[in-house]
Every structure is written in structure tokens, then in C-alpha cells.
Structure 1
Amino acid sequence: MKKIRFSRVLTLGATTIIIFLVLLFFIFRNSSIVKTITSPISGITSKFDYFISYPFRLVSSAKDEVLDLLDTYSENESLKKSISEMKDQSSEVEYLTEENQSLASALEIEDAFSSHKTLTSKVTVRSTLSWYDNLTMGVGKKDGVTSSMLAVSDGGLIGKVSDLSSSSTTLQLVSNSEGTYEIPVKMSNSAGDVYGILTGYDSKKNALVIEELNIDRELNKDDEVVTSGLDGKSIAGISVGKVSSVSKSKDISKRKVYVNPTANLDSISYITLIGS
């Protein structure tokens, strides 16, 4: 009796397994049924994966942003350094260019006044407190400098010797508004020559001042002004500048001529002393 019951159980179990396998076969053979069953499962699984992976994706994104910021910072620092180096090089090139131009101008002056004694030297001392008043050169008595020499830079008169030692020379610049010069000059135009004395500098007009004119003759804007050498000590023919204006006065002794200097008095590098 027990054997019969056990045989029935086995038969029932085998039948159930066969039915289950047939059902699975039918389900997997039918793609629409598979999709219907797996779609909710896939949705739940993908949401679960997204939730679990979010912190990792957040960290990865933050890492990429930090790396991008570090790369940007590094590039900016490198760019700043390059710009700074370019500015330094540009300043150095500009300085050397100006210095070379000044030296070339000094050599031209030496050639133009080759019949006179000339000494060219670089500026050694120029204080910001007295920038437009005086400066010092690295040549002196032992080099042949004399107190009557005039100083020229960039093709134009810039001053005269005011103090002299064995190895250095101090110049009083023509832009010294407190200075006294008494340098004889000549102004020329088609009407003829007018002689006078360079006596000072007008800081308000930024112009040299010429007085003591020898004749009542009309002077025009941009008339050439050069040294005349009529004091018997200074050299003639050094460019001083161009007439900018003339004060109105019937009395010739009170008339003043204002002159824009030839030389750039803001920037002086090489100076040539000219004399005898």
C-alpha cells in the first residue's frame, strides 16, 4: 500500500516538473511574455544600481572638476610667468634700444665737432630729487674736461659744467629753473639772424628762455636756435631747439623768446662734452 502511494507521489512530482519545464519553454519562446516579466525587474534593478552608484559618480565628477581646476591654475600660473618674462624682456629691449640710440647720437656729435675736443661718457648719478636740475658724469679733469665745456645729448644742448673734480663732472641742466646760464645763442630765419643769451628755463611753459636780443627783428615759430660761441669760450653750432613763442614787448630789452629744447631732457643716457 505504501509502495503504491510513493509511486503516485513520484509520478505527480515528475508530472509537475514536466509541466513547469514546458511552461518555462513556452514563456522564453514568447518574447512578449519575457519582456512583460523582465521589464519591471529591470526597472527596479536599474533604479537600484543608479541609487547605489550615485555617490561614486558624485566623487568621480568632483575629482574631474578638481583636476580641471588644478590644470587651469597650472596653465594660468605658466601664462602669468610667460607674460612677466615677456614684459621684462620688452623693458630690457626698450632700454637697450634707447641707450644705443643715445650712443649713436653721441658718436654723430663727435664726428660733427671733430675739430674740437669732445668727451663722451655715460651718466653715473642722477637723483630723482634733482632730476631736472643736475647730474654727474664719470669723467673729470684727468680726462681733459674743462669748466667751459657744453654738454650735449641726443643731438641737443642739455647743460654746462658746474662742478669739476679729478674723476667726475657735475652738469647744471638747462631745465634747472633756478639756474643761471648766460650761454650765447643765435636764432635764424629768412629775415636774418638774431643773437641773444640763454638765461634760464620756464617750468610752466617747459621751455628755455632767451633774453638780451641784439636787434628788433621778427622771429617765427620753429626758427632754429643754436649756440653762437660769442662769449669766446663756448663752442658755436650746437643745436639748442626751436622757437615756440615770443613775448610781446616794445622794449627789446624786456622781450623773451621761448624755445622747445632739441634734447629729450627726461631721458639722458650718454653725454658728449664739447669745448677747447
Structure 2
Amino acid sequence: MPPFFNNKKLIILLTSLIILVALIGFSMKEREQISWPEQFVHDTVGLFQYTFSKPARYVAGFFQNLQDIRNVYEENKVLKSHLQKYAELDSNYQVLKSQYDELKKQLNISSIPDLTDYKSYVAFVIGRSFDNWNQQITVNKGLKQGIKKGMPVVTADGFIGKVTEVSQFTSVVTLVTDPSNYNQISAEVIKSGVPIDGMIEGYDDKKNELLFKKIPIDAKITKGDKVVSSGLGKVYPQGILIGTVTKVSTDQYGLTKTAEVKPAANFNNIEYVDILERLAPSVSGGDGGS
């Protein structure tokens, strides 16, 4: 026998190559139906793919969701930081706007007719006693700035009180809403060019209204009339708005009238005030106090 056929390894290799080529050609041939061994292999591989691919997709999706959640969390932190900064800026803006509006209104005080005889000191409210909320405030001007006891104090809305205590750098202002008679003010209502005089004496804290007393019994005062300082006592300027009449009644003896007056100034929100110093006497004079 020839030596070629004695080499069994070579024969097996050649036979395997022939079978492999035949299988490749057979698999590449278009057929209407594949053989059952191929079906078995395909189904087995497909089962393994289905079995392992679904959990793999789930795990991949789970980690993707975790990453998305982390991204959303980081974005929320940034947004919250921005919102907090915006809230702080908005708060600061509102405070500055309020102060600006208040100071702007203070400029209109010069429209008071008798104010040309007075020097104005703009002061900032630095304190308010909670037990005497409607009685006293403390401002940041004192003797060093020229403030003296008895000076009238106003805001852009109207009269609020007078200086009752003075130290070197601060002053205490007793408000007109003090229920005591310490802040008696000469006041008037102008009707048809004729002044109707009286006195602001007392405050009804339940109604938040001043009491305008000693009005002549025949005076024609009605609801809605404006009450201003009269300037008769040579202390307060004439024409400072005090408030608006809400009700008129006759006293118990029938000799005079009393009017309830809603204050023009907002005593619950006082930030800036003007302290007035009389420079020279005028024909109309100032206002009186006790």
C-alpha cells in the first residue's frame, strides 16, 4: 500500500476539510426548510439569547435609571440653589424698593405750606417697644445732630408725634397714638375756607382712631373731612395732615362735638421720619402741645 494511505492523520484531516466545505456549501444553498439539527441549534441559541438578554436589558436599564435619577438629583440641587438665590435677591429688592419709596415720599413733605420756616432732619427708626408699640419709637438722631425735646415728627403720610427724650445719638418719639393726653395737638378742619378748630386728645386703640375734641357745637363737620395741624401753638407747622373724620358726635353735656379721626400715617410700619426744627417765627405760627 502506498505510504500516503498509511498516514492516518493526513487522511482524517483531508476528510474533515471535505466535509467542512460540503457543509459550508450546503448551508449557503438557498433552501425552503433547514434541517432539524440546524433548527435545534437555532432554537437552542435563541432560547439562551432570550433567557439572558432580558435580564441583561433589565439590569442595564436599572443602572441607566440610577444614573438618570442621580442626574435629576444634581439638577434639582442646582435649581434649588438658584431659587434660593432668587428668593434672597427678591427679598433684598423688596426691602430696597420699600426704603426707596419711603424716602421718595419724604421729599413730598416740602409741600406743607408752613414748612419753609422749619429745618428737616431725616431719621431712621431703630427701635420700637413691644409693650408700648403704639406709644414710642426710637430714631437714630440725637443731640449731636441737633435734635431737641419737643420737636414735631412727621412722615410722608402725615403727623405721627413729637420728640420726648433725647440722648447724644438717639431720640425717643412719643406717638400721637399714645392713649395718654401727653400728645395734645391743636388741629383744624377747613370748610369753605373757614377753619374749624379743636384738639386731638386721646386715641381709641380698639378702633385705631384719634379723638378730635372741643369742636364748636355749631361746627359743620362731616365724615370724610380732612383734619390737619392748625399751627396755633407755635410748635408744629400748620397744614400737616393728621387724618380723616369717620364719625361725629356731641359730648355728654351738649356743649361741644367730638370727631373720630382715622390717622393718615401707618403707625404699624414706620421706617423713616422727619424731625422738624422751627427756624424762625412766622405769621401763622406753629402748633401746641401739652
Same fold (TM over 0.5): yes
Does residue 68 of structure 2 align to residue 68 of structure 1? yes
C-alpha distance in structure 1 between counterparts of 2:19 and 2:88, whole Å: 91
Measured in 2, the distance between the counterparts of 1:204 and 1:146 equals 32
C-alpha displacement at 1:66, in angstroms? Answer: 1.3
TM-score by length of 1: 0.81
Q: 1:173 aligns with which of 175, 178, 188?
A: 175
CA contact (8 A) 2:217 2:257 kept: no
Q: Are the structure 2 counterparts of residues 33 and 270 from structure 1 closer, same or farther at C-alpha, using a change threshold of 3 Å?
A: same
Q: Distance in 2 between the 1:213 and 1:60 partners?
A: 90
- Alignment TM-score, normalising by the size of structure 2: 0.78
Deviation at 1:87, TM superposition (A): 1.6
1:204 aligns with 2:206: yes
2:147 to 145, 166, 169: 145
Match of 1:46 in 2: 46
- Give the residue type in structure 2 aligned to 1:91: S
Shift of 1:73: 1.6
Measured in 2, the distance between the counterparts of 1:85 and 1:214 equals 60
CA 1:102–1:18 in 2, change beyond 3 Å: closer, same or farther?
closer
For residues 63-92 of structure 1, give each alpha carbon's deviation from its aligned partner in whole angstroms, at most 9, with x where no partner exists: 111111112222222222222211211111
More helix by share: 1
Q: Distance in 1 between matches of 2:144 and 2:153?
A: 18
State the partner residue of 2:286: none
Q: Which amino acid aligns with 1:61?
A: G
Q: Which moved more, 1:247-256 or 1:61-70?
A: 247-256
Q: CA deviation at 1:128?
A: 4.0
Structure 1 pair 55/249, CA: closer, same or farther in 2 (3 Å)?
A: same
Deviation, 1:172, is: 1.0
Counterpart in the other structure of 1:116: 118
Q: Distance in 2 between matches of 1:274 and 1:20?
A: 115
3-state SS in 2 of match to 1:117: strand
Deviations 1:145-164 (A, max 9, x none): 23332111123111112212
Distance 2:31 2:138 in 1: 103
1:1-276 paired onto structure 2 within 5 Å: 25=25, 28-34=28-34, 38-110=38-110, 112=112, 113-178=115-180, 180-190=182-192, 192-247=194-249, 251-253=253-255, 255-276=257-278
Query: Does the residue aligned with 1:212 lie in a helix, a strand or coil?
Result: strand
Letter in 1 for 2:199: I
Task: Indicate the SS of the match to 1:69.
Answer: helix
Tell me by how many angstroms 1:198 deviates. Answer: 1.0
CA deviation string 1:218-255 (max 9, x = no partner): 32222111101222332221111211222355745564
Q: Percent identity?
A: 27
Q: Helix, strand or coil: the match of 2:234?
A: coil
**5+ residue gaps, structure 1:** 7-12
Give the aligned partner of residue 288 of structure 2: none
Hey, what's the Cα distance between the residues in 1 that align with 2:186 and 2:167? Answer: 26
Residue identity in the other structure for 1:102: E
RMSD: 3.3
Unaligned 5+ residue runs, structure 2?
6-11, 279-290
Query: How far off its partner does 1:41 sit?
Result: 3.1
Q: Deviations over 1:26-49 (max 9, x none)?
A: 565242223876455333312212
2:222 & 2:211 partners in 1: Cα distance?
Answer: 15
